[in-house]
Structure 1
Amino acid sequence: MFRAHSIYDRGTPVNGVLREWNDYIVEFETTLSEADRQQLLDDYRKVLKPLRGNVFLLSFRNFVGHTIFCGQPYTVSSDKMSKEDIHDMNRFISSRIALLPYYDHNPVRSYWAENAEEEAYRLHQWHLLREALFREWEGATLQDWWKLIDHDPHHRIDNEVVSSPIWSVRTVYPETLEGIAKHPETWVPIPKSSGLSLTAIAGRHTMQGQAYFPATAIERINRLTFDTAENRMMKLILDQFVELTEWMADRLSRDKHSIYGKFEIRDENKKIQDELTELLMSGWVQDIAELHSIPRASTVLLRKAGYRQWYSFYQHWLLGGKFPMPEDWIRTLVDTRDIAKIYEYWCFFMVTDKIERIWRGPPSAILRIEGWDESGRLTQGIRLDFAAPNRTLSVYYNKCFGGGQQSYSQNYSPDISVDSEGRWHHFDAKFKFEESPSGVKAAKKEDIDKMHTYRDAIRNTETVWVLYPDSEPMPPRFHSVNGSHNYDAGVGSIALSPNNGEGLTRVIEELFSI
């Protein structure tokens, strides 16, 4: 609903662009009734607070992206990271999610009841489809892989036996002669003046001096068809993807204002729908029938470029709800666009990616974990296990260390924890920093203090690190409890952003090299 309003930042009018974690004053031009005020607070309950009369406090907190407020479009940006870096983080997280190991499955179609957990599954599928269709799947986008299919769609030659006019028959087969002999009803009279009446076949079939000649004959015709099991599979995949976008459109229409980036998601969903509709309009797709069984052993689906990538993505897509991942991950990525949480997830995958590189292999297992956090709430996390000859290592996201057992005092849950042979190293992602008068960025003092708490309280902890966003290639800062220059035991901080990962690489290599 459009409501005329003005937004102010410390008394200065704002047009179009807002900042995350900034408080704005909103003043509506017309007097609001009590019902109007209540409707506004219901519609924008996550971002709007009443002050007095027609004046409200507006804050999008950690949300970054495009939105519409009272009928007006706005972009919420971050001062800590560029739009391009945020996109890079999202793409990296999506690629890592797509490559995580998963459990054995039967790739058949599933239907979901509408509940919170299963909605997260479908959101995960939608997110995977968006990333693969427009960004990357196995080295290219699904759009690009479709171009290969469209250039050379799989086909077969069907050999049909048909009855054709006699003058169009080009090749005589045994069944051609047999049909002529056995079906006199296909013969028609011909004038005596016709040259056909003088042929041997006409001369042998005369009745009362009337010559007859076969009007039709049986022949074999080779027909090219695209109606193959593989192409039926492609059409099924497209239809199911379209159905998912219809589900998303319906979800957005039902949930009017509680999703921060609803309008951005709506535009992305429409873009996906349009692209899928265009693919379904490919000429060779039009006459393809319905698929009745999946051709799992097809060499075309398993090997032919284009088909192989679409089929492998489809199998992966069917597993949208099978990943043992916390459900709030996908809601954050799709719905809330919470930049601080996205930075946490990205940091987790950056740590695991660098460990993969020095261990020369992906994780051998992934598990969902649960625990009680520092506020006594039940939380979910994940664990990735790595294995090498004579050594193991586990990387945790959101592991809870229980008070009196794994912790000397109360519960603690660092963002990222690495168990290396029973010794712990923790990394806490903080989407904030302090800046000196000269412009040098550093982790905030209170965050370093929290790392000292982790270091002292969590048993068997050797090092603890703050990760903070900074594109300047600053060397890691480290305070060793032993006074050494190595990362042996102590507290440190690492500047980490999409174009600045050298510091984390240096720390990971020293701590976890095989």
Structure 2
Amino acid sequence: MKNLAGFIYHYNSLSLKLFPAGMHNEIDWNNIAFSDGNFDFYLLRDSGASEKSYVEYSTDSDYNINPLRLKETVRYKCQISDSDNPDKKENYKLHFKNESNKFLKTEKDDEKSIVFQFINYLGKSELCFESDNKPLSLSFEVVPDKISYESDYVNLTQAIAEECSALLLEYSSPTSLTFSQDAEKQQKTALEQFIFLRQFCYADNIESLFASIKSNPDRILIEEDEFKPFGQGAPSKRFFTNPLSYGRNWNDSSSGFYLPFEIAVTHKCESLDTPANRFLKFALNVFLEICENIITYVNEPNSFYVAEAGEIKTRIENILQDSFFDDVQELTLIPVNNQVLEKREGYSQIFNAFSMVDLALQLDWKGKEEIYSGESKNTALLYEYWLFFELRKIISKIDGCLPVLQNGEDAFIKENDGLTISLCQDKKSVQHFETENQKIDLYYNRTFSHKNFEKSKYEGSYSRPFRPDYTVAIYPKTYADEDKAVEDGAVSYIHFDAKYRLEDLSQFINKEESEAEINKEISEEKGESVMNTYRRGDLLKMHTYNDAIRRTVGSYVLYPGSDNKDGKRFSVYEEILPGVGAFAIRPSDVTKRELNAGEKAVQDFIKEIVAFNANPASRNARADYFDRMIAETPSENRPVDSDSKKTDSNLYMLGFIRNEYYDWLKNEHLVPSSAEDSNFLRLENGIYFYYHAIRDGYVYPLHKDIARAKYFLASRTDFGIHKKISEYVIEPWTAEIASTELVSSETLASRLQEMKDKTGKGYEPKEAFKAQFYYLVRLKNIQTADISSSEIKVIDSGNLAISPYSPKIVKVEK
């Protein structure tokens, strides 16, 4: 019922009135909308003002959902009164059973009222109070606003079970499994097994499935022998091989031969003792044991689970007492590839249910306790887990993309004594994939921290730590692993966040917002009412990921809506990346196997990303080229020390040194005059090479690998006049590059003065420097060398197209 806003719960003379805090006067307390048992429910006074319901009440659910439901993030007030003792002053001890829950906020207004709010919590709760020193409680379910909480929980549970079953088959697919029961392990996983079983028994009514099996059972034709008087039937074949055993009452005939009075006669009949029916009997006994475990080991007498387990146990016992099973023997081997179990109505559903409940015994998943323990339903976390399985499935279905099994600490799937899933809240988990040209790493809960930022040019967050729910890292296959790709800035990150409470895109972004609506929304974001749960804040967080986390090219929200076609995406350029956006994705009928519209949209998007990331002509790739160049070069405040960066011993920086400066270096004998000169002066701090960085507002472009060069070659050939490296004259020495700085012309003059000549003076140029900023390279370990231009190899075609006087990056081939 829409507009349901409050209720009064009656217990003897006590009344508990519950309503949204601050809305008491907006509710029509004079007219009861409807009653049920001890509850009276009330509507908003202005029924047309809003269609929102702050309270829900329904007894139709079959999924262990409390009929009374309150909404997450809504602040409620509960007042208690006693009609027999209206002036009673004692404390009724209003409190919550789970009051220590970090997701629950409570305020005690006075001794007779409490204000409370659940944030990021879904599931059961109890508001406790006392009457005449007798403890009492009001139970309810905390549910998200507008989301189909009941069906989502069932669909997500079943979908995860399907994915886990697929994992088992993916890594091992025997034709049959020898089965033995481990009672201790079953007790530990009883609750999880029962959740699967309970859903199956309600959704696919087990009695109707058994009726379907009885209408078309699996049979075999068998031969049976029975004794009949001699001559009343064809003797059994066994009579001729063993007449004494298959003949009775032998008598001497008149002809002198002994003949039996009765012989074994063969007749054919149908039998239900087949492998499929043996499995059916076995599976039902396993289901029965699960229910008995719940009744035995759940230490809560009033538990919904215990009551339901008793009901399902009775159903299964009635089925097992049917004469159908009179001649069905015990199962010794599970026939996994049996066509009857896989395809025939009734059998296939029970076989699938058995696979789900048996899953807990075969697959070790540490994170499952967070969603299957107790009586709360953490549907938001269940959705978060399901999305990882879903993204894994989506990526693995891309043509040529194969999952790679690894046993590292963070590996999603580990193959030790069995399969282990490492998926767990607040813990990093990763699944590796490979395509023909690229590697893809899918992460769950990967943290990008400032510590990573300080250690690397291409990793981490420059401010606070961020932990997206899912991160897709894409990098070339030429790298051994992601760490190697990170060192070169060759990784692209795409982030996804799960937002279970977001239902449609109108909550996420609205193009038609007025200025007043925008101002109101921004004001709400600053308060606690939104709690980063809904709407625009989710989009802003995606922008934050893009800005704060290095190498991020896109961030997107995944939410369980049903309005998805292609998702909603916003891009910086006209290309797919960089950008932000949202996709609606939720479990569909998992028995259909094909992807639904939301899953297909996400898969198409990831396919586009993988293809786009390999395109060097995109705006994003070109912007990345220059961004990496800037990251590799120094700033005024941060010199780049060669010892702290990744250099390549095969790469040389070939620099043009102007005549005036080079003549001074030679006159002071700071560099060799020939390949045989070993008596030059070796300064403790080395010598300097410098070149233009910024002149009159123009930033000089550099070779992309300039920061990776380990050695230096000098030339006096004018780079601006001679365009071919084969025309260059190479000076007879090499040096190691110690460091590079970005300095002003004033700082450059000061540094050159540090290279003292014999008279104690440094270098002073005759003319003023023409540029405002220079790159200053300190050279150490100068060695004589005889290198000709023919031994120099240009390493890419763009080398000479860069500013003529910028250094070239080359290789030397001897």
TM-score by length of 2: 0.47
Equivalences for 1:91-130 in 2 at 5 Å? 93-94=159-160, 97-102=163-168, 103-104=171-172, 108-111=179-182, 113=184, 119=188, 121-130=189-198
Larger Rg: 2
1:20 paired residue number = 72
1:415 paired residue number = 469
Contact 2:92 2:111 in 1 (8 A): no
Matched, 1:232 2:296: no
Mark the CA change 1:58 to 1:281 in structure 2 (over 3 Å): closer, same or farther: farther
Matched, 1:455 2:546: yes
* Segment drifting more, 241-250 vs 42-51: 42-51
1:337 paired residue number = 377
The one-letter amino acid paired with 1:286 is: D
The one-letter amino acid paired with 2:545 is: Y
* Segment drifting more, 65-74 vs 415-424: 65-74
Question: What residue ranges of structure 1 are gaps of 5+ in the alignment?
Answer: 188-199, 206-212, 372-376
| Distance in structure 2 (CA, Å) of the matches to 1:342 and 1:71 | 28
Matched, 1:429 2:495: no
Answer 1 or 2: higher relative contact order, Cα 8 Å, separation at least 6.
Answer: 1
Q: Residues 142-182 of structure 1, C-alpha deviation per residue, up to 9 Å, x if partnerless? A: 88876664344334445444445x39953445849956998
2:427 paired residue number = 380
Equivalences for 1:255-294 in 2 at 5 Å? 255=300, 263=304, 265=305, 269=309, 272-273=312-313, 276-277=316-317, 279-291=319-331, 293-294=332-333
2:577 paired residue number = 488
When you count helix as a share of all residues, which structure comes out higher? 1
Q: Residues 176-225 of structure 1, C-alpha deviation per residue, up to 9 Å, x if partnerless? A: 995699865x88xxxxxxxxxxxx96x789xxxxxxx9875544454543
Mark the CA change 1:160 to 1:286 in structure 2 (over 3 Å): closer, same or farther: closer
The one-letter amino acid paired with 1:37 is: K
Equivalences for 1:57-456 in 2 at 5 Å? 57-62=115-120, 74=140, 76-83=142-149, 86=152, 90=156, 93-94=159-160, 97-102=163-168, 103-104=171-172, 108-111=179-182, 113=184, 119=188, 121-130=189-198, 149-164=213-228, 166=229, 169-172=232-235, 175=239, 184=249, 217-252=263-298, 254-255=299-300, 263=304, 265=305, 269=309, 272-273=312-313, 276-277=316-317, 279-291=319-331, 293-294=332-333, 296=335, 305=344, 310-311=350-351, 314=354, 317-323=357-363, 325-328=365-368, 331=371, 335-359=375-399, 363=403, 365=405, 370=410, 379-401=426-448, 403-405=450-452, 406-408=459-461, 411-421=465-475, 422-430=491-499, 431-432=501-502, 433=507, 444-456=535-547
Contact 1:6 1:28 in 2 (8 A): yes
Q: Residues 374-415 of structure 1, C-alpha deviation per residue, up to 9 Å, x if partnerless? A: xxx993354334443333323222223455234245643210
| Distance in structure 2 (CA, Å) of the matches to 1:158 and 1:452 | 71
Shift of 1:418: 0.8
Contact 1:427 1:465 in 2 (8 A): yes
TM-score by length of 1: 0.69
Specify which of 598, 606, 616 is matched with residue 508 of structure 1: 606
Shift of 1:270: 5.6
| Distance in structure 2 (CA, Å) of the matches to 1:393 and 1:180 | 72
Contact 1:443 1:493 in 2 (8 A): no
Contact 2:97 2:125 in 1 (8 A): no
| Distance in structure 2 (CA, Å) of the matches to 1:512 and 1:460 | 15
| Distance in structure 1 (CA, Å) of the matches to 2:431 and 2:212 | 36
Indicate the SS of the match to 1:340. Answer: helix
Mark the CA change 1:313 to 1:56 in structure 2 (over 3 Å): closer, same or farther: same
1:9 paired residue number = 20
Q: Residues 21-55 of structure 1, C-alpha deviation per residue, up to 9 Å, x if partnerless? A: 223223344589999739x6447765695724343
Contact 1:369 1:380 in 2 (8 A): no
Q: Residues 52-75 of structure 1, C-alpha deviation per residue, up to 9 Å, x if partnerless? A: 434334545445578776666656
Indicate the SS of the match to 1:466. Answer: strand
| Distance in structure 1 (CA, Å) of the matches to 2:141 and 2:194 | 23
Contact 2:495 2:556 in 1 (8 A): yes
Contact 2:402 2:435 in 1 (8 A): no
| Distance in structure 1 (CA, Å) of the matches to 2:202 and 2:370 | 18
Q: Residues 228-276 of structure 1, C-alpha deviation per residue, up to 9 Å, x if partnerless? A: 4443232112111221122234444x1468xxxx63x567656654554
Matched, 1:465 2:519: no
Indicate the SS of the match to 2:360. Answer: coil
| Distance in structure 2 (CA, Å) of the matches to 1:346 and 1:299 | 29
* Segment drifting more, 448-457 vs 497-506: 497-506
Q: Residues 318-345 of structure 1, C-alpha deviation per residue, up to 9 Å, x if partnerless? A: 3325446442476269843234334433
Specify which of 478, 488, 511 is matched with residue 570 of structure 2: 478
The number of aligned residues is 467
Mark the CA change 1:220 to 1:424 in structure 2 (over 3 Å): closer, same or farther: same
| Distance in structure 2 (CA, Å) of the matches to 1:435 and 1:181 | 86
Mark the CA change 1:229 to 1:477 in structure 2 (over 3 Å): closer, same or farther: closer
Question: What residue ranges of structure 2 are gaps of 5+ in the alignment?
Answer: 1-9, 30-39, 42-56, 58-68, 128-135, 412-423, 453-458, 476-490, 522-532, 587-595, 613-814
| Distance in structure 1 (CA, Å) of the matches to 2:74 and 2:18 | 12
Contact 2:428 2:445 in 1 (8 A): yes
The one-letter amino acid paired with 1:318 is: D
| Distance in structure 1 (CA, Å) of the matches to 2:408 and 2:217 | 41
Mark the CA change 1:25 to 1:284 in structure 2 (over 3 Å): closer, same or farther: same
Indicate the SS of the match to 2:167. Answer: coil
Contact 1:154 1:226 in 2 (8 A): yes
Task: Give me the identity figure in percent.
Answer: 19
The one-letter amino acid paired with 2:576 is: Y
2:528 paired residue number = none
| Distance in structure 1 (CA, Å) of the matches to 2:440 and 2:291 | 40
Contact 1:25 1:58 in 2 (8 A): yes
Mark the CA change 1:412 to 1:143 in structure 2 (over 3 Å): closer, same or farther: farther
Indicate the SS of the match to 1:238. Answer: helix
1:190 paired residue number = none
| Distance in structure 2 (CA, Å) of the matches to 1:390 and 1:58 | 55
